């Protein structure tokens, strides 16, 4: 697979390490009521869809960017790739 790195262009997937569901970006508030249950969901429960999936890839043998890659898990078509820090910062605004 080739991943369109937002800074470096098309890069071979072999340069990356895969982590999985990008919901890991949404770390729960540790002081909110019910934090423990929220963390249980966060740590243990993931979606594993056949179809469009937002997932985390780490450019370990590259510039060490974490990317959020939107990929169709059936066709392996890659719909977008963004810097995870941008996604996270965008969500915070």
Q: Please report how close the Cβ of residue 32 comes to another protein at its closest, in angstroms.
A: 10
Name the residue among 93, 80, 87, 58 with its Cα closest to residue 6. 80
Distance CA 93, CA 77 (A): 29
Distance CA 52, CA 43 (A): 21
Distance CA 69, CA 55 (A): 5
Binder of another protein out of 19, 49, 52, 73 (CB under 8 A): 19
- Within residues 27-86, the interface with another protein by CB under 8 A covers 27-28, 30-31, 35-36, 39-40, 42-44, 56, 58, 60, 64-66, 75-76, 78, 83-85
Distance CA 55, CA 71 (A): 8
Binding site for another protein (CB under 8 A): 1-2, 13, 17, 19, 24-25, 27-28, 30-31, 35-36, 39-40, 42-44, 56, 58, 60, 64-66, 75-76, 78, 83-85, 88-89, 92
């Amino acid at each position: 697979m080739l991943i369109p790195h937002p800074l470096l262009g098309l890069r071979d997937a072999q340069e990356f390490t895969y982590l999985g569901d990008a919901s890991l970006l949404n770390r729960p508030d540790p002081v909110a009521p019910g934090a423990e249950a929220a963390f249980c969901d966060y740590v243990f429960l993931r979606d594993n869809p056949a179809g469009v999936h937002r997932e985390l890839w780490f450019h370990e043998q590259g510039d060490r960017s974490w990317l959020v890659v939107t990929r169709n898990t059936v066709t392996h078509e890659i719909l977008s790739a963004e810097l995870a820090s941008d996604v996270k910062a965008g969500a915070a605004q």
